[in-house]
Structure 1
Amino acid sequence: MWGMRVRTPLAAFVLAAGLFVSVLASSALFVSQGYRDSIRRGEEKAGIAAQIVAVHFQWLIEASRQSLRRIDDTLGYRPELLATAMLGDLDDAIEGLPQNVEVRLFDRNGREILSTAPRGEINIADRPYFQELRDGAAQVISQLLIDRITGERSFIVGRRLWRSGKFAGVAVIVVPTSLMSQVWLNLDLGPDSAISVVRKDGLIVARHPGLAEGSAIGSQVVPEGLGRQESGTYRRVSRLDGVERLIGFHRVSNSELIAFAAVASEAALADFNRRIVRISVIAVPVFLALLAMTVWVSRLLVVDRRRRLEAEESLAQNKMLLREIHHRVKNNLQTVASLVRLQPLPEDAKRDLSRRVAAMAMVHEQIYRSDRLDTVDLSMYLRELVGEVVQAFGANSKVELGLEPAKIDADRAMVVGLIVTEVVSNSLKHAFPGEHRGQINFSLTIGDDGQIRLTIEDDGVGFDPQAVKAGLGLKLIDRFAQQLGGRYEISGNGGLRFVLSIPVAMHQQSGP
C-alpha cells in the first residue's frame, strides 16, 4: 500500500509533465506553422507584386522605345521640324505614352534643341546615359536621376540619332518615377513596403517610396544562388533604410531590368503577432486548468489503482475457484465412473457408461490445466481422449491423428468428445474381429466456411448403416449432432467413414 502511494504521485507528475510537454509542443508547432504560413503568404504577395511591376514597366519601356523610333523616323523625312522650338507636331509619334512624360532632343554636343515642355536650355553632355549613346549604344535606360530643370526624380529612355553615318544627337523620354506611386497604392503591400526597378549593374532606375539620385543596392541585385532565375523571393534587411523585407523579384522581358516588390516582414507578420497575443491571453487559464486536471487525475489514479488491484485479486480468486471447481467435477465424474463399474450391469453397458463419463471428465481436466477457463483446444482434447479409449479397449490397432488446433467452448467440446467416444468404441469393437490389426485415421480441420470438420475412418470390415440406425449409439450421435448445430455423414462400405461438420461458434438466436 505504501509503495502504491509513492508511485501514484509520480504517475500523476509524469502524466502532468506529459500533458505539459504535449501542450507546449502543440503550441510550438502551431506558432511555428503560423509563422511559416505568414512568411509564405508575404513571399507570395511580394512575388505577385513584382510580376505586376515587371509587366507595367515592360509596357512603359516598350511604349517609350516605339515612340522614340517614330520620332526618329518622323525627323528623318521631316527635318524642317528641327527649325521649331517645340515638338508639338510630333503628337502622333508619342501617342500612347502617359501624359506627364516629356520628350526632349539634344544635339551631338548634348545641348537641348527641342522639347515637349521647354523650360530653359540644359546640357546633358556629362550625363552617363548621353555618353553611352554617343559612344555607340543604340538605346539606354538611365539610372534614377534628379531632373535639372524640374527637380523631380525621373529616369531616361534614350535613343541615339544617326544621320549620314554620323552621330547627330539623342532623343529621350523623361519618365517621372511618380508614375510608380499609383502602382504602389494599387498593390496595397502595407507599411514600409517598396517597389523598384533596378538595372543589371545594381543601379536603381525607379523606386517608390523615392530615393536620392544615384542610389545603388550593390552589384549583386539578387542573392547568390538564384542565378538567372526569371523570378523568385528572398528575405533581407535593406541596406537603403535598414528595414527587413520579404522581397519578390521578376525580370522585365526584353530588357536588362529587374522589378522588385518588397513587403516589410513586420507587416507580413502583423496578423501572426496578433494571434500570438490572443494565445498568450488564454495561455494562463489553460495552464491553470492543466494544474487542476493534474490534481484530479492524481485522485483518479489512486482510486483506479485501488479498484484495479481489487479487480485483479478478485479475478485471480475466481480463476482459482473455477479451476478448483473443474478439478472437483473431474474427480466426481471419475468417482461416478468407478461406481458404474461396481454396479451389477452387463460388462458392455458398464464399459460404455464409463467411457462416456471419462469423456466428460477429460474436458474438465483440460480446462483445469489451461490458462483459458472458457474454451478448450479441441485437438489436444481429442488426442488425449482417443488415447484413453484405445487403451481402455486394449486394442492393438494403429491410430493416425491429423488434428489442426481449434478452439471451442467447453460444453460443445464435451459433446464432441461423447460423439468421438461412441464412434471409436464401435470401431474398436466391431471393425476388427479376431486378431485382425487395423488402422483408424482422425482428421480435424477448419474450412473457409467457418466449419470444423472431424473425419474418422478405419479399414475394418465395414457395416450396414441401415442395420445400426436403431442402435442406442447412433441415436446418441444424432442427438449430439443436433445439439452442436451441425450435421454428420456415416458410411460402412469397405470400412467406417464418419464425417462431422459443426460451426466454430454457435449463433445465438434472439426473439420468440
Structure 2
Amino acid sequence: MIVVTFGLALTQFISDYRSVTSEGEDRARAYALSMATDVRWYLDVARQVLKRVERQSSELQAAGNTGVVLGDVIDDLPDGVAIVLYDASGVSQQFLAVDADVVDISDRSYFQELKGGADWVVSHLIADRVTGQMTFAVGQALRRGDQFVGAAVAYAPMQVFNKTWLSVGGKDSNAYLVHEDGWLSARLPEVPTAVYDTPLPEDFVAIYFSAETGAYSAGKSPIDGVQRAIGFARVDGAPLVAAIGISTDDMLNSYWAKVLFTLAVLLPISGLLGYAALRNSRLIRRHEQVSADLATSLQRNEILFLEIHHRVKNNLQSVLSLVRLHAKSADPVAEIQPRIQGMVAVHEHIYRTDSYVDVSAPDYINSIAQQIVDASSENVTLQTNIAAVTIPNRSVMPLGQLITEAVINALKYGFPDGRPGAITILLTLDDDRNALLVIHDNGNPLPPTPGTGMGSRLMKAFAAQLNGTVDMVSSDDGVTVEVRFPLPEE
C-alpha cells in the first residue's frame, strides 16, 4: 500500500511538473507578445516623432530655439529617451532632452544604412556616444527631395524599459530583442559589454525567426547561468523578435512547495501505515504460529488419547498377568501389591511432570525407585547416578516396570526383616546410544537357583520390550542386575 501511495504521488508529481513547465512556457509566450506590442508601440511613437522632427528641422534651424518648438514632441516619448539631429556627414547638430558635446556617428552601421538609402532603421545594442549608456537607436533619414541631408535618431537607454519588461517575469527574469541580422538590440538586465560585441549563434537566432510566436525550455544561460522558460514573439513591421525568459526556479517555487508539503504529509502517514502493516504482519505470523501450535497440540492430544487407552489396556493386562502368576502363591496379595504400587509410581511421575511423550531419565528413575524404597523399608538408602538423557515414550513403561521389579526383589531378598543396606542405580550411554542400566544391592545373595523366580521372569519380559537383555549376578557382596538396551535419538 505504501508503494502504491508513493507511486501515485510520484505520478502526480511528474504530471504537475509538466503542467507547471507548460504553464510557465505559456506565461513566457504571453509576456513576449505583450513585450512585442510594447516595442511596436515605442517604434511607432519614435518614428512619428522623428518624422515630425524631419518636417520641422528646417524651421528649427531657422528659429534657433529647439527646446520651445519641439517640447510637445519630446513629451510623446518615454522619459529618458534622447533625440539627436545629425548632418549628412554624421556630425551632431542639435540635441533634444539631453546635453552633450558634439559627436560623430559616421562609422555607425545604422547611420551608414540610412545614408545608403534606408528610410528608417533599428540599431544593435550599443553604448551610444551621446549618453554613454547601453541603448538601441531608432533612426530616421532626413532628405530634401532625393538628397540625404542627415538623420534624426532617438536613443532609448535600457533603464527606460526596465520596469515594464522585467516586472512581469519575476526574479531572475530577463528580456531582450533579437535583430534579424543576428545581433542583440536590447537586453535586460544589463550585462558586461563583451556580450554585445559578437553576433548570436545562427541556430539560436533561427529559433526566434522560425515562427511568429513560440516558447521553449532553455538550458542554463551562458551569460548568467540561470535556467529559464523562454517565450518569443515577432515585432510586427520591424526586424525584431521580443523575448522574455522566466526563471525556472521562480516558476517552480509553488511546485516544490507543493511537493514538500505533500511529502511532509505522506511521510508520517506512510510511517504509520508501515508500522500498522508491520504490526499486522507480526499479528498474522503470530496467528499462523498459534494455529500451527494448536494443530500440533491437537494432533499430539489425539496421539496421547490413543496412548492413554493403549497404556490402560497394557496395565490391565499386566495386572491380570500378575494375578494369574501369583494366584497359587501363599500370599498373593503381598506379592502383587508392591508391583501394582510400582505401576502407580510410574503413572504418578508422568502426570506430575506433565511428560506424556518423552521423560527425563534422572527424574523418572529417581522418582519411581525412591517411592518403592520409601514404601517398603526405612533402613535401605537409595543412591543413583543417571545419565542426563531422555526416555522415549514407548520405553517409559517397560523401563519403569523393570526397575520396579529389580528394586522389589532387592528389598524382598536382599534386606529381609528390615535389614539395613543400600541400593545403587546407574545409567550410562555409549557413543552408539546403547544404554547400560545397573541395579546393585549390598544385601543377601539370591537363592541357589537365581533367574528362575517370578521376579527374574518379569524382568526378562520387560527387557525384551526394550529390545534389550538382562543379566543377574549374585555374590556375597550382593546382587547386581545389568540391563542393556538401545536408546534411540531424542
TM-score interval, smaller chain: 0.5 to 0.7
Please list every run of 5 or more consecutive structure 1 residues that lacks an aligned counterpart in the other structure: 1-18, 307-512
Please list every run of 5 or more consecutive structure 2 residues that lacks an aligned counterpart in the other structure: 290-490
Q: Distance in 2 between matches of 1:27 and 1:285?
A: 14
Q: Distance in 2 between matches of 1:185 and 1:80?
A: 38
Question: What is the correspondence of 1:54-203 to structure 2 with a 5 Å cutoff?
Answer: 54-75=36-57, 78-79=58-59, 81=61, 84=64, 86=66, 88-116=68-96, 117-184=98-165, 186-187=167-168, 189-203=169-183
Identify if the C-alpha distance between structure 1 residues 157 and 290 changes in structure 2 by more than 3 Å, giving closer, same or farther. Answer: same
**Residue identity matched to 2:233:** H
**Aligned residues: CA RMSD:** 3.0
- 1:273 maps onto 2:256 in alignment: yes
The worse-fitting range, judged by mean Cα deviation, of 247-256 and 206-215 is 206-215
**Residue identity matched to 1:183:** T
Q: Distance in 2 between matches of 1:105 and 1:152?
A: 18
Identify if the C-alpha distance between structure 1 residues 226 and 56 changes in structure 2 by more than 3 Å, giving closer, same or farther. Answer: closer
Deviation at 1:225, TM superposition (A): 6.5
Deviation at 1:227, TM superposition (A): 5.4
1:43 to 25, 50, 54: 25
Deviation at 1:275, TM superposition (A): 2.5
Deviation at 1:50, TM superposition (A): 1.1
2:239 to 243, 256, 266: 256
Q: Distance in 1 between matches of 2:278 and 2:84?
A: 84
Q: Distance in 1 between matches of 2:47 and 2:60?
A: 23
Deviation at 1:62, TM superposition (A): 0.4
Q: What corresponds to 1:208 in structure 2? A: 188
Identify if the C-alpha distance between structure 1 residues 217 and 108 changes in structure 2 by more than 3 Å, giving closer, same or farther. Answer: closer
* SS of match in other structure, 1:148: coil
Larger Rg computed on CA atoms: 2
In the alignment, is the contact (CA less than 8 A) between 2:184 and 2:200 conserved in 1?
A: no
Deviations 1:241-268 (A, max 9, x none): 2211101111111111111111111111
- 1:30 maps onto 2:12 in alignment: yes
Q: Distance in 1 between matches of 2:160 and 2:208?
A: 29
Count of equivalent residues: 288
Identify if the C-alpha distance between structure 1 residues 153 and 225 changes in structure 2 by more than 3 Å, giving closer, same or farther. Answer: closer
Q: Distance in 1 between matches of 2:60 and 2:254?
A: 63
- TM-score computed with the length of structure 2 as normaliser: 0.53
Question: What is the correspondence of 1:413-428 to structure 2 with a 5 Å cutoff?
Answer: none
Identify if the C-alpha distance between structure 1 residues 130 and 226 changes in structure 2 by more than 3 Å, giving closer, same or farther. Answer: closer
Identify if the C-alpha distance between structure 1 residues 131 and 281 changes in structure 2 by more than 3 Å, giving closer, same or farther. Answer: same
* SS of match in other structure, 1:142: strand
Q: Distance in 1 between matches of 2:170 and 2:231?
A: 15
2:211 to 229, 241, 256: 229
* SS of match in other structure, 1:228: coil
Deviations 1:130-158 (A, max 9, x none): 11111221111111121324222211100
Q: Distance in 1 between matches of 2:115 and 2:55?
A: 19
Deviation at 1:172, TM superposition (A): 0.7
In the alignment, is the contact (CA less than 8 A) between 1:180 and 1:207 conserved in 2?
A: no
* SS of match in other structure, 2:124: coil
* SS of match in other structure, 1:143: strand
Identify if the C-alpha distance between structure 1 residues 82 and 120 changes in structure 2 by more than 3 Å, giving closer, same or farther. Answer: farther
Deviations 1:413-467 (A, max 9, x none): xxxxxxxxxxxxxxxxxxxxxxxxxxxxxxxxxxxxxxxxxxxxxxxxxxxxxxx
Q: What corresponds to 2:413 in structure 1? A: none
* SS of match in other structure, 1:233: strand
Question: What is the correspondence of 1:365-376 to structure 2 with a 5 Å cutoff?
Answer: none
Q: Distance in 2 between matches of 1:156 and 1:294?
A: 71
Deviation at 1:44, TM superposition (A): 2.1
Q: Distance in 2 between matches of 1:45 and 1:303?
A: 59
Q: What corresponds to 2:455 in structure 1? A: none
Q: What corresponds to 1:367 in structure 2? A: none
Q: What corresponds to 1:342 in structure 2? A: none
In the alignment, is the contact (CA less than 8 A) between 1:247 and 1:262 conserved in 2?
A: yes
Deviation at 1:59, TM superposition (A): 0.5
Q: Distance in 2 between matches of 1:167 and 1:99?
A: 29
In the alignment, is the contact (CA less than 8 A) between 2:60 and 2:66 conserved in 1?
A: no
Deviation at 1:199, TM superposition (A): 1.0
The worse-fitting range, judged by mean Cα deviation, of 94-103 and 47-56 is 94-103
Deviation at 1:223, TM superposition (A): 7.2
Identity level (%): 29
In the alignment, is the contact (CA less than 8 A) between 1:105 and 1:115 conserved in 2?
A: yes
Q: Distance in 1 between matches of 2:182 and 2:224?
A: 16
Q: Distance in 2 between matches of 1:99 and 1:221?
A: 36
Identify if the C-alpha distance between structure 1 residues 124 and 268 changes in structure 2 by more than 3 Å, giving closer, same or farther. Answer: same
Identify if the C-alpha distance between structure 1 residues 161 and 212 changes in structure 2 by more than 3 Å, giving closer, same or farther. Answer: farther
Deviation at 1:239, TM superposition (A): 2.4
**Residue identity matched to 1:272:** Y
Deviation at 1:209, TM superposition (A): 0.9
Identify if the C-alpha distance between structure 1 residues 156 and 114 changes in structure 2 by more than 3 Å, giving closer, same or farther. Answer: same
Identify if the C-alpha distance between structure 1 residues 269 and 210 changes in structure 2 by more than 3 Å, giving closer, same or farther. Answer: same
